[in-house]
Structure 1
Amino acid sequence: MVLPDGVVAWAVTHHATLERVLTDPRFAKNPSYWRAWKNKSVTADWVMPWIGVDNMFTADGADHLRLRRLVSQAFTARRVEQLRGRIAQIVADLLEQMADLDGRRVDLKRALALPLPLTVISELFGVPVGDRAPLQQLCAAVFDQSLAPQETMAAYQGLQQAIAQLTALKRAQPGDDMTSALITIRDGSDQLTEAELHWTLILMIGAGYETTVNLITSAVRALLTSPDQLALVMSGSYEWQAVVEETLRWAAPIANLPFRFTREDVDLDGVIIPAGQAVLMCYGAAGRDGAQHGPHADQFDITRAPAGHLAFSHGPHFCLGAPLARMEAATALAMLFERFPNLALATPEDQLKLIPSVVGNGVASLPVTCKPQHAIGRNPKGNLVT
């Protein structure tokens, strides 16, 4: 297939095939295997943030294991679990602001889906409050294929500068955050190089909020256009986690991920992909593969029998942030619909505009009307109560 700016790639769209590719060492992450890249015939600036980096995203084999081992020491399950109460507090504060609108139209993406994960990931990595909005805008530009080449390159360079400033700050003023931890983390005599540190932070911060924004907005959109599904979860027949998993399948937050590269000629389901070719991982298409998910795979249905999805990838590159994204989304959805059981779309679904991205999968905005049922407060111990 031909992607923006003439970039040519082979698309893997079937679940079973994609699952195999994600664990097949003949498909490398390192762009040095890409013939067009080596020949300098790739001129599309939008691919740079996906291949012109030095972190786990473009590493294979022992290099990938080394980087993942180092990063995993800082991004532990215990650290993520400790965020549960803080996530609920942030959601409660954002819903309180929405309640002040009392039935008026509001963009749920801007009111909840974006500020929640942006605040969480910023606090987790120690990003100063004043730097968060500019950093978010730079990260968003990475996913925006409607930008002019010079705008893309400016954002790409600005992102590197912002992260360099963050690491300089944390060296001077270390804190209880993941940036400080990554600066000092070691495995024997091994630690992240400066380039690896910067690109790891870009990967973790950017991926840490953008995908969750799409996950939350897609889930709300699905529920508001499927009242029978909303009724099932509101009645307690199904858990909110079922909504999260079905959304991940039905509308993978990352629709298409650039790239894997063939080390050699590969026979994939009877199709020969020559050596040195770029391969696009089509998670959105795989999530709606009827061979994996049944004849009604295009429908949002939390009652379907789980058949597994690949929204967080598979194999060695499985997303480290998956537990955090799941926690944020489930918490936000549960508290949102408890506070606003009469939440409704404020515009017809067919008028919602998608974000201009080959990679990201979500809406540019999600206008809703919301009238609170009751207030959320805190008891003397600081716990949320309704």
Structure 2
Amino acid sequence: MNATSAVRPVDPVHLDINGRDPHAEIARLRERGPIAPVMLPGGVFAWSVTSQWAIKRLLTDPRVSKDAERHWPAWINGDIPAGWPLALWVSVRSMITAYGDEHRRLRKLVTKAFTARSISTLGPMVTAIAHSLLDRLAEAPPGAVVDLRERFAAVLPVRVICEFLGIPEESRDGLQEKIGLTFLTAVPAEVVESNVRELYAALGELIESRRATPKDDLVTHLIAARDAEDGSGLTQQELVDTLLLVISAGYETTVNLLDHAVHSLLRNPDQLALVREGVATWDDVVDEILRCEPSGFHVPLRYAVEDIEIAGVLIPAGDAIIISLAGAGRDPEVHGDNAEQFDVTREKRREHLAFGFGVHYCLGAPLARMDAVIALEALFRRFPGMRLADPAERLELLPSFISNGHRRLPVFLGDSG
């Protein structure tokens, strides 16, 4: 069978745009095999990959691209509806959507800012930010319910990445809100379109401000790459979209990582005890959360450059593919029948794909890890008696099959340590 004669499945799974129970949805997809047909918002067809081995194969296959402008006929031909919730994930021109030589060129321009040495120098800054936020939390009245996502998990990563990039304080709240919207899949088309316009306007203003007043930060470095005269630098759109990528990747993933780590540790006090007793480390906590509750359920989008046959399934050239990071993390072939359980001593806790795999592996992974370890250790030391406000409550998730986080994380802080 070839792409021209392949019959598209007539019973794809319609992914729930409200993200009410993505883990259950992914489990149902897995029952259909490592690769299953799905329907995205707007009636857009794709293939969902939930098997860890199949994901690794596809993420290292040169026949798989992230460049919709070159390899997704539905996008090229204008078949994707206006205001599509995932449009920004497809339209951006940065290393996240680049292919081949273009990807290598764009990644090289950013890599120097994310070396292990440069990240390690940020430790004192992260620690200072964490303690300043904890000081504010300690001012809450005794017995008050505190939304730890809003007041800690969602604040620390923003401050860190904005300090790292050199984004002025007055621009941060607006950018945080606009970028957060891009991860939601249950958003009306008109809101999607207006949010994208406002987001690009804000980034454009930031770039012009920094061009007029250069500083020793990543924004200035990217502008210098844009203004280079040897032709190897960034186009204006690549400059804006690379900045968008670095901010969004450094924000949402770490927010959800902190959110789920706190929630899982408070729901499983025996696991928290293992950390406090020195049986497990905070690094172990981070890896197990990245495996069990990765910051994203699915990652859109990739495209078959040629026909690809894998696991007995033919993915025709031009078809879209979404990668299920949550599926990989709970793959029973890797993690056994108890893959859904949170266990900081799990032997294969580091065998996850939360930061990707292959050439698109996340450059910011060391920074996200450092943020999480410093923040979690400081939080649980400051508030040793912290507990969930309602342990029996099933916390509501964000309305998304992409972003894996709670709307709120209500806790009692207890006495400050």
Shorter-normalised TM range: over 0.9
The 8 Å contact of residues 99 and 371 in structure 1, kept in 2 or not, is answered as: no
- Counterparts of 1:190 and 1:28, CA distance in 2: 22
Q: Deviations over 1:318-344 (max 9, x none)?
A: 000000000000111101111111111
* 1:139 equivalent in alignment to 2:179: yes
The 8 Å contact of residues 215 and 248 in structure 1, kept in 2 or not, is answered as: yes
Q: How does 1:207-246 map to 2 (within 5 A)?
A: 207-246=249-288
Name the counterpart of 1:312. 355
- Counterparts of 1:187 and 1:15, CA distance in 2: 43
* 1:50 equivalent in alignment to 2:89: yes
Q: How does 1:85-104 map to 2 (within 5 A)?
A: 85-101=124-140, 102-104=142-144
- Counterparts of 2:267 and 2:175, CA distance in 1: 33
The 8 Å contact of residues 117 and 212 in structure 1, kept in 2 or not, is answered as: yes
* 1:77 equivalent in alignment to 2:116: yes
Amino acid at match of 1:326: R
TM-superposed CA distance for 1:119, in Å, is: 0.5
The 8 Å contact of residues 70 and 187 in structure 1, kept in 2 or not, is answered as: no
TM-superposed CA distance for 1:188, in Å, is: 6.3
The 8 Å contact of residues 35 and 276 in structure 1, kept in 2 or not, is answered as: yes
Name the counterpart of 1:383. none
Q: How does 1:115-264 map to 2 (within 5 A)?
A: 115-185=155-225, 190-264=232-306
Name the counterpart of 1:326. 369
TM-superposed CA distance for 1:144, in Å, is: 1.6
Between 1:186-195 and 1:55-64, the stretch displaced more is 186-195
Q: Deviations over 1:164-187 (max 9, x none)?
A: 111101101111211011111469
* Superposed CA RMSD: 1.4
The 8 Å contact of residues 256 and 281 in structure 1, kept in 2 or not, is answered as: yes
- Counterparts of 1:173 and 1:349, CA distance in 2: 52
Q: Deviations over 1:66-114 (max 9, x none)?
A: 1001111233322211110010111101111111113421000011101
Between 1:67-76 and 1:92-101, the stretch displaced more is 67-76
Name the counterpart of 2:400. 357
Q: Deviations over 1:262-319 (max 9, x none)?
A: 0111111111111110000110111100101122101000111125110000000000
Tell me the TM-score normalized by structure 1.
0.94
- Counterparts of 1:373 and 1:206, CA distance in 2: 32
Match of 2:152 among 91, 112, 116: 112
Name the counterpart of 2:73. 35
Equivalent residue of 1:59, what SS? coil
Unaligned runs of 5+ in 1: 375-386
Name the counterpart of 1:339. 382
Equivalent residue of 2:301, what SS? strand
The 8 Å contact of residues 41 and 84 in structure 2, kept in 1 or not, is answered as: no
- Counterparts of 1:187 and 1:314, CA distance in 2: 33
TM-superposed CA distance for 1:222, in Å, is: 0.6
Equivalent residue of 2:167, what SS? coil
* 1:268 equivalent in alignment to 2:310: yes
- Counterparts of 1:125 and 1:300, CA distance in 2: 34
Equivalent residue of 2:302, what SS? strand
Q: Deviations over 1:6-57 (max 9, x none)?
A: 2211000011110111111111111131122122111152121101011001
Equivalent residue of 2:194, what SS? helix
- Counterparts of 2:337 and 2:185, CA distance in 1: 32
Amino acid at match of 2:355: F
- Counterparts of 1:39 and 1:373, CA distance in 2: 59
- Counterparts of 2:192 and 2:145, CA distance in 1: 32
Equivalent residue of 1:280, what SS? strand
Equivalent residue of 1:373, what SS? coil
Aligned length: 374
Unaligned runs of 5+ in 2: 1-37
Match of 1:24 among 61, 76, 79: 61
Amino acid at match of 2:408: S
The 8 Å contact of residues 138 and 416 in structure 2, kept in 1 or not, is answered as: no
* 1:298 equivalent in alignment to 2:336: no
Between 1:233-242 and 1:28-37, the stretch displaced more is 28-37
Equivalent residue of 1:11, what SS? strand
Equivalent residue of 1:310, what SS? coil
Amino acid at match of 2:100: G
TM-superposed CA distance for 1:359, in Å, is: 1.0
The 8 Å contact of residues 299 and 323 in structure 2, kept in 1 or not, is answered as: yes
- Counterparts of 2:347 and 2:113, CA distance in 1: 35
Structure 1 moving runs of 4+ over 6 Å: none
Q: Deviations over 1:213-264 (max 9, x none)?
A: 0000001111011111010001111110000000000011011111110011
